[in-house]
Amino acid sequence: MRFEFSDAEEKFRAELLEWIRGALPADYAGAGEDPDADWDLNLKLRRELARRGWLTLAWPREYGGRAASHMTQVIFNEEMGFHRVPGRDAFGARMLAPTLMVHGSEAQRKQFLPPVARGEVQWCQGYSEPDSGSDLASLQTRAVGDGDGFKVNGTKIWTSLGHRADWIFFLARTDPEAPKHKGISFFLSDMKTPGITVRPIVNMAGEHHFNQITFEDVWVPRAQLVGEINKGWYVATTLLDFERSGIDYITAARRVLRDLAEHARMTKGPGGPLADQADVRARFASLAAQAEASRILAYEVAWLQGQGAVPTREASMSKVLGTRLMNEVTDFGLELLGAAARLDRGTDSAPLRGRILRARFDCIAWPIFAGTNEIQKNIIATRGLGLPRSY
């Protein structure tokens, strides 16, 4: 399938690129180099994106969006990611808000969507637990009825931006006797609620992005239950489709590949410029072909969403291809840069400012989070090819 953007969509791309050129500090290294150091800039740009209506492009107008096409949203995500611009809101604008539009009550939409649209609130996700990752339905956090609400106890792990978040959406077991997919509910909670404790997890790159969150007798009002009690699994899988269906994985790989190509053109090896060496050119060509195929699949996911479909299998395919590609590209980058690739940021002689090493550290987890690639392959097999479920 060939995707062509409309004149209006290309006009938006040009407007966005012009804004990007003027929005970033001259010495800006790129989002993700140090998430905490970029946080103030992230919030500043998020508010500016919200003012322009770009934070919620594809939302319905009644909820603060511009009712733009899904392909316009793809352009936004692709260009922001390729130029490493902070300010986007993955948890609120991309994941939770569309889920509330499907499963939330009108009261919940009116309460929670406008602050997201204005760029005023940070959300985080409470899905994984110390003993529940890929088998998410085995989670053990409990929510027990308590008056006009629920009392929650349990632990969540790998909670990205939990230390920055104002609110959390999470899953908890509300019927321990039901089959594991049937007794789960989906909740929203203010992070300032008594009993919520956030503990930092520092990753192998020395960065603090993840957290462990503990709930100890945390009271959540019934009004913050999304959907029906014990049917939160359906809410959760809707949100996972929105999480898996972005173009971000592929865009990150394309940007690293472009940086490496520029380095190869400018760097001489024993036999001349790296870019003239046959084996190097062959690797670039292979990875570029994979990147373009993955990009087209991400476009298809967005196009299907624009037609009102829920492209579960296609989103899983996109997630597998994009995360695998990023790992292959960064592996190639470490080989291409040689021993100097091991020099971290802050070292004057580190090629590409140490970015490839950091990217490799980061993307190790990509085939694991948002559902492991093994889980995605099961979805592709059963929902895409009609194969029986494996046991």
243 has catalytic annotation:
yes
Cβ neighbours of 75 (radius 10 Å): 21
Asked if residues 127 and 170 have their Cβ atoms less than 8 Å apart, the reply is yes
- Our separate counts of H helices and E strands in the chain read 11, 10
Do residues 40 and 79 lie in contact, with contact meaning Cβ atoms separated by under 8 Å? no
CB 121 within 8 Å of CB 64: no
Kind and range of the H or E run holding 304:
helix 278-306
Output the six-digit token pair for 2. 């060939």
Give CA–CA dist 114/123, Å, rounded: 13
Which residue of the set 243, 300, 335, 374 is catalytic? Answer: 243
Contact between 156 and 187 under an 8 Å Cβ cutoff? The reply is: no
Rounded to the nearest 5 degrees, what angle is found at the Cα of 77, between the Cα atoms of 76 and 78? Answer: 95
Phi, psi of 100 (to 5 degrees): -65, -35
First to last CA, the chain: 35
Cα–Cα distance for residue pair 171/238, rounded to 1 Å: 13
The residue among 293, 292, 316, 288 whose CA lies nearest residue 304 is 316
**Contact call for residues 375 and 134 (beta carbons, < 8 A):** yes
The three-point CA angle 316-322-326 to 5° equals: 150
* Residues with active-site annotation: 243
